[in-house]
Amino acid sequence: MNLHEHIHATLLALPALETKRLVFKRIAPVDAAAVFKKRAEDGAGHFLGIVSQVPGGDDRVLPQKTVDAFKAETAIAWLANLKGAETETVIGTAGFSNINFETGRAELSGEMSKASWGKYYAIEGTLALISFGLNKLKLASIDAIVPPENTSAIYLLEKLGFQEESGANAPLLLFSRKSSV
């Protein structure tokens, strides 16, 4: 089975991801309101480049684009929720975009609600995504593109073995983690 066939089969059966404290479920159009609410409350759009998203706008656009990209097999996205929470509260989103079958590369991205910062959920969730990308999708490399002012994301990536590949004074920093194979 070539890489494209393997990724296709994996995407068709895309599992929920679970860690000790988190559950990641595949994002769907019905999740639009929860994603928009989290982003509006936290101002997460600042680092995501979606500051134009406003209340009352069409908050279904991003989740539908995510679903469309999933169908085209160029992206995967999950909603992050706390395990055992009485109600399902979105604390973040995460996934892979720009999946390239020929090179075995994909971009990792994610966001987390401010109320969840400092609780090490980002490390726990990112480790689960890296494991899924390298072991299930069989990616050769996982990349992350980060604004230089997002020092928390840079710290996280470096702590998890990503190496910076961008040049000096780059407007966005490129980090990469290669498979050990």
Output 130 or 172, whichever has higher pLDDT: 130
For 91-101, write each residue's pLDDT tens digit. 888 989 888 87
pTM here is 0.77
CATH number at residue 140: 3.40.630.30
% of the chain exceeding 70 in pLDDT: 64
* Residue 181: pLDDT over 50: no
Is-contact 156 175, C-beta < 8 A? no
Whether residue 78 is contained in a domain is answered as yes
Whether residue 171 is contained in a domain is answered as no
Query: From CA 125, how far away is CA 16, in angstroms rounded?
Result: 12
Whether residue 37 is contained in a domain is answered as yes
Query: From CA 113, how far away is CA 44, in angstroms rounded?
Result: 8
Q: Which residues contact 30 (CB under 8 A, 6 or more apart)?
A: none
Whether residue 43 is contained in a domain is answered as yes
Whether residue 137 is contained in a domain is answered as yes
For 123-137, write each residue's pLDDT tens digit. 999 999 999 999 988
Whether residue 181 is contained in a domain is answered as no
For residue 11, the model assigns a pLDDT of: 57
The domain total for the chain is 1
For 140-158, write each residue's pLDDT tens digit. 999 999 888 888 889 999 9
Instruction: Write out the residue range of the structural domain in which residue 42 sits.
Output: 3-144
Whether residue 167 is contained in a domain is answered as no
Is-contact 125 16, C-beta < 8 A? no
Whether residue 169 is contained in a domain is answered as no
Is-contact 34 90, C-beta < 8 A? yes
